Structure 1
Amino acid sequence: MTKRYDKELSVEDLAAMPDSDIDYSDIPELDKTFWKNAKLTMPAKKEKVTIRIDADVIEWFKSKGKGYQSHMNAILKAYVHTQLQDR
């Protein structure tokens, strides 16, 4: 990266920053060859379950906006992958 920031930037910092001020030097440009070799990967089959979760946990996820169930799934999936790597 050629440009350095005075501090680590949060998501909020980046959202408030004009695109022209963001350092993209460590991200290569995508060209037509990227899409030539791209493959569509469908998400894994979801299974509908009933689960009891503390109200404060559900409210926190809901407060983050649309897609809170997908967000919960992604966090659980990351945890499972970590546990499988530790075997």
Structure 2
Amino acid sequence: MSERVIRKSWDDIKPRQEVLDALDDVADEELERDIREDPDVAPILDEAWFRDAELLPARKMPVSLRLDPDILAFFKNQGPGYQTRINGVLRRYMEAVQRQERG
């Protein structure tokens, strides 16, 4: 299998001067506003971001819970992590009820 090589000169690929001039005309404030309003922009990970980051939730609390045998079998048959999956189902239910209560 032969590879097709395409050669280009610097004149073919260097940025055109009119594009560079247009970028120079954009004010810093306008660029900063566009960045703030862009929903796809990644957060700036500066010292303040790390200071204000949410702490991880507390460890889960061990409880004794009575479940119907078929419910427990269903989750256990899913393999390791069944308790985490049960917790996830309960969390989604809790969040749905809270959303309804808020209206």
Compute the TM-score of the two structures, normalised by the length of structure 2: 0.44
In structure 2, stretches of 5+ residues that fail to align are: 1-41
Q: Which residue of 1 aligns with 2:75?
A: 61
Displacement over 3 Å in runs of 4+? 36-41
Deviation (angstroms), 1:40? 7.6
Deviation (angstroms), 1:47? 0.9
Cα gap change, 1:66/1:40 in structure 2, threshold over 3 Å: closer, same or farther?
Answer: farther
Residues matched between the structures, number: 55
Distance 1:80 1:40 in 2: 21
1:23-81 deviation line (CA, Å, top 9, x unaligned): xxxxxxxxxx67x5786852433111111101111000001010000000010001001
Distance 1:48 1:74 in 2: 15
Matched to 2:84, the amino acid is S
Q: Which residue of 2 aligns with 1:51?
A: 65
% same residue:
30
Q: Which has the higher contact order (CA 8 A, sep 6+)?
A: 1
In structure 1, stretches of 5+ residues that fail to align are: 1-32
Matched to 2:62, the amino acid is K
Matched to 2:95, the amino acid is H
Matched to 2:86, the amino acid is M
RMSD value, Cα: 2.3
Compute the TM-score of the two structures, normalised by the length of structure 1: 0.52
Q: Which residue of 2 aligns with 1:72?
A: 86
